[in-house]
Amino acid sequence: MISVAQAKKLIKSNLPPRQTRVLEIGSCTGVVLATDVKSGVDVPNFDNSAMDGYAFRYKAGCEKLNVVGELKAGAFPTEELKAGQAFRIFTGAPMPKGADTVIPQELVKKEDDAVVFEKNAVKRGANVRKQGTQTRKGEVILKRGRVLDPGALSLAASVGVDKLKVFRRPYVGIIVTGDELVTPGKKLKPGQIYDSNTVLLTSALNTLNVVPRFVFRVADSRKELDKHIDTCLEHCDVVLLTGGISVGDYDFVYELLNSRGVKKLFYKLKQRPGKPLFAGVRDETMVFALPGNPVSVASCFVQYVKPVIRHLRGFDHTFEPDLKLPLSSDFQKQPGLTYFLKVRTTPNAAVVPKGQQSFNLMPFTNADAFAELDAESEVVRTGTMVNVYKW
Ligand code: AMP
Ligand code: MG
């Protein structure tokens, strides 16, 4: 059995390679940019008016102008404006040649075909957005590694970019095993239990902006398992199995993975919950066989699977804890095992609810994270700073 730290090290040095894709900007929300993006144009691409008003050529003392034309957004002015003249102009319309200033309509009075305003009502150059003030042609607008949120995507659109090279979201296959499992919503027969792991893994992946490519639920049968393992190994970057990895007579997962050429990175860890966790690789696919108890699945997902998924999505330092918090109460543990406790985080503590067994999901009534208790300790005291990992 190896330690949590050794397990993470083995995973880190066997990570599947990241893949890239070119996607339409409309499909890029939440994905990570794989290259720097440069602007091919100046933005704005022409001097334009920042206000609804009148464009004119600034001259100290000018206070009455003849209105000789009109320009709205989308127009293209051809006539040149002369001193003493003005163009009615609307926000976003290009400045006519010869004009350098816009006076807002609120500051003028109309007199027939002319407008009058007070001396020095505006300064030279006022209310004009100059070409290239947002972005210069050739300027880097977004850097590799940027998570594409609405702000970043609208910036890309403003320079005319319609597609971006991003890290492809990983293809993930889920295989949930167990003869006893029933889909929630159906009636339980004696001896059966509801399957919590399918939704647990699917939802945990959704939280990471990943939709699983395959979700299979299979009985404890070698034949069925074989078929689905083959499909997932063929088409996925990460394969997640739950159940069937312990030492029971119906736990075939380890043996089947082995027969499929999955090379073991580790099997069994000094941790609770989740001792029988298996991790392996075949070609460019990483396989995790998670023990069946839902809390083990949750805890192992957050510790080992989530960092791999986030790495593939283009993030760095993905094995780091999300935060550190003082533990809210003493916790007695078995020395030699790292513990992961379901905890509720508050701004100043990791609160430990009752029911820390690996089958017990009730703490998730309000627990929102896992706290890591170091392997050596026999008692972790109130106030001890612990690593906290969130979904
Ligand atoms: P196993 O690892 O297959 O021996 O399963 C360990 C425990 O977890 C057993 O009590 C199973 O019934 C339970 N279990 C396995 N899979 C699930 C699941 N998908 N949902 C809820 N409990 C499960
Ligand atoms: Mg089982």
Res 166: pLDDT: 98
Report whether residue 244 contacts ligand 1, using a CB cutoff of 6 Å: yes
Q: Report which of 27, 271, 45 is spatially closest to residue 163, judged by C-alpha positions.
A: 27
**199 exposure class (CB count in 10 Å sphere: 0-12, 13-18, 19+):** middle
Res 331: pLDDT: 98
- Please name the residue whose Cα sits nearest to atom 10 of ligand 1: 293
Which of 177, 181, 192, 254 is the best mutation target for the ligand 1 pocket, counting ligand atoms within 8 Å of the beta carbon and taking the most? 181
Per-residue pLDDT of the chain (391 residues; tens, 9 = 90+): 999 999 999 999 999 999 999 999 999 999 999 999 999 999 999 999 999 999 999 987 778 999 999 999 999 999 999 999 999 999 999 999 999 999 999 999 999 999 999 988 999 999 999 999 999 999 999 999 999 999 999 999 999 999 999 999 999 999 999 999 999 999 999 999 999 999 999 999 999 999 999 999 999 999 999 999 999 999 999 999 999 999 888 889 999 999 999 999 999 999 999 999 999 999 999 999 999 999 999 999 999 999 999 999 999 999 999 999 999 999 999 999 999 999 999 999 999 999 999 999 999 999 999 999 999 999 999 999 999 999 9
- DSSP 8-class letter at 124: T
Residue 243 Cα to ligand 2 middle (Å):
5
Cis preceding linkage at 294, omega within 30: no
Residue 209 Cα to ligand 1 middle (Å):
26
Residue 238 Cα to ligand 1 middle (Å):
21
Report whether residue 220 contacts ligand 1, using a CB cutoff of 6 Å: no
State which amino acid sits at residue 384. Answer: T
Residues 53 and 212: their CA atoms lie apart, in Å, by 55
Alpha helices, DSSP H, located in the chain: 4-12, 150-158, 197-207, 222-235, 253-259, 294-300, 306-312
Q: Which domains, from first to last, does the chain contain?
A: 4-18+169-313 (3.40.980.10), 25-42+134-167 (3.90.105.10), 48-129 (2.170.190.11), 323-390 (2.40.340.10)
- Please name the residue whose Cα sits nearest to atom 18 of ligand 1: 195
Report whether residue 176 contacts ligand 1, using a CB cutoff of 6 Å: yes
Res 294: pLDDT: 98
Res 299: pLDDT: 98
Spell out the residues 6+ positions from residue 209 whose beta carbon is closer than 8 angstroms to its own.
30, 31, 169, 313
Residues 90 and 388: their CA atoms lie apart, in Å, by 54
Q: How many CB atoms lie within 10 A of CB 183?
A: 10
State which amino acid sits at residue 33. Answer: L
Atom of ligand 1 nearest to the CA of 291: 2
- The percent helix, strand, coil of the chain (3-state, each to 5) is 20, 30, 50
Residues 222 and 40: their CA atoms lie apart, in Å, by 57
Report whether residue 180 contacts ligand 1, using a CB cutoff of 6 Å: yes
- Please name the residue whose Cα sits nearest to atom 5 of ligand 1: 292
Res 249: pLDDT: 87
Q: What is the pTM of this model?
A: 0.93
Residue 220 Cα to ligand 1 middle (Å):
11
Ligand having the closest approach to the CA of 193? 1
Spell out the residues 6+ positions from residue 385 whose beta carbon is closer than 8 angstroms to its own.
324, 325, 326
- DSSP 8-class letter at 125: T
